[in-house]
Amino acid sequence: AGTAISGTQTAIALTSTAEFGTQTAMAGTAISGTQTAIALTSTASAGTQTAISSTLTAGAPTSTPTTIPTPAGPYVLVDVIQDALGLNQTSLVNVSLMNVPPEGYTAAEFHCIYDPAILEVGNIAPAELFGSDPASALNGPQNGSFIFAIAGSQGRKATSSGTAFTFTVRGMSAGASNVQCTARVSVGQGALEAIAYIPDSVTVFDASASPTPTQALPAYVAGQVIASKPVTIQLFDAGNALVVSQTANADGTFNIPVGAGTYTIVASAEGFLKAQGFVTLSSGSTFSMQVVNLPAGDIDGNSVIDQFDALTIGMNYNLSAPTAADLNNDGAINVLDLELLAANYRMSGALAWQ
């Protein structure tokens, strides 16, 4: 493959593949200016794979570094376990050293970067690769970057491929972020050697932002619920799952958009018995509920208006809280609230609402 976007360019790709279903991958990308990109691949007969890519760029624009799909030598592998996250959801990230040579590494330094607007990093902790009880040092995370250094204690080394350390990423805002760790390794000779790396990426989605297009809201349910307190209208689907919860206007009127279907509709206000009914809404239409007056007096919310509710008025007499006991919403719990309660004394259950 060779992709040329502008300028004088040459892209050449050669492939030879033998009999046993082997694969070839190559890439040459030229972005601008006078460029040549050549990729050569030859594949052997028994299922081994080779991937070589070279990118040459001339002129001012520079290309981003190409990450080789599966390096032959040692490399760092970042693996975000759950690569699609909702807001505030967290995933573990494993950072592993692969193709560790038999003589082993005594220490490694990882430099990890990510988009701090999309992700929050935490819980950076050593794993088992450098043996039990390794020494580790952390710098950051700050501004989408941290350095984690780890060294085997008591002469322990990393002698095989495995996870060197882990951390967590949490979705902060919708978008996509690379999670990339580069590494330098030590074999105990006082020198550091950079190795290859394979990054991962995470997509954060906002589940609350338009789960389905607005065309899914073609029907309306409207009405008026009278109470001296703010009224909440709730719609539940056939499985009793809450679909919509909305506060009615100050005068109790409401006009709620919702998908066509059959719902249980419930009107409630603090200190009042509920009203409940069923509505079947068809696409593009408005269903109007009867005007309903909620009965005042169920201060403890157990669906019965009785002496226990009156008790709350007595215990909080001339106070303003609990607000459920202030049935007329005038800021004082007193005989005016008791009077409202008395008018509905012994009423119970939810009012049938059509």
- Closer Cβ to Ca ion, 109 or 337, answer by number: 337
First to last CA, the chain: 67
Number of C-beta neighbours around residue 298 at 10 A = 28
Nearest residue (CB) to Ca ion, 123 versus 307:
307
- The smaller minimum CB distance to Ca ion, of residues 94 and 328, is found at 328
Sign, Cα dihedral of 248, 252, 257, 258: positive
CB closer to Ca ion out of 60 and 346: 346
Q: Which of 172, 203, 328, 351 binds Ca ion (CB under 5 A)?
A: 328
> Which region, judged by CB under 5 A, interacts with Ca ion, from 17-25, 175-183, 279-287, 306-314?
306-314
The closest of 5, 53, 8 to 26, measured between CA atoms, is 53
Instruction: Tell me how far, at minimum, the Cβ of 275 lies from Ca ion, in Å.
Output: 16
Rounded to the nearest 5 percent, the helix, strand and coil shares of the chain are 5, 45, 45
Of the listed pieces 89-97, 121-129, 249-257, 332-340, which binds Ca ion according to CB under 5 A?
332-340
- Our CB check for Ca ion shows the closer of 59 and 349 to be 349
Q: Sign (positive/negative) of CA torsion 65, 67, 73, 79?
A: positive
# chain residues binding Ca ion, by CB under 5 A: 10
Q: How far is the CB of 341 from Ca ion (least distance, A)?
A: 9
Q: Which residues on adjacent β-strands are paired with residue 352?
A: 276
Q: For helices 307-315 and 335-343, what crossing angle results, to 10°?
A: 170
By the rule CB under 5 A, 326 interacts with Ca ion: yes
- Shortest distance in whole angstroms from residue 326 CB to Ca ion: 4
Task: Give me the amino acid identity at 121.
Answer: V
- Does 330 bind Ca ion (CB under 5 A)? Our answer is yes
Residue 309 in the binding site for Ca ion (CB under 5 A): yes
Provide, rounded to whole angstroms, the least separation between the CB of residue 303 and Ca ion.
7
148 vs 272, which CB is nearer to Ca ion? Answer: 272
* Nearest CB to Ca ion, comparing residues 200 and 309: 309
The reply on whether position 337 binds Ca ion by CB under 5 A is yes
Instruction: Output phi, psi for 244, to 5 deg.
Output: -140, 140
Q: Which one, of 295, 323, 301, 231, lies nearest residue 313 by Cα?
A: 323
Closest CB 277 distance from Ca ion, rounded Å: 22
Write the DSSP symbol of residue 314.
H
C-alpha 74/C-alpha 100 separation (Å) is 6
Minimum gap (Å) between residue 118 Cβ and Ca ion: 49
Closest to Ca ion by CB, 200 or 298: 298
Least CB distance to Ca ion at residue 124 (A): 53
Q: Which of residues 286-305 bind Ca ion (CB under 5 A)?
A: 298, 300, 302, 304
Least CB distance to Ca ion at residue 168 (A) = 46
Residues that bind Ca ion (CB under 5 A): 298, 300, 302, 304, 309, 326, 328, 330, 332, 337
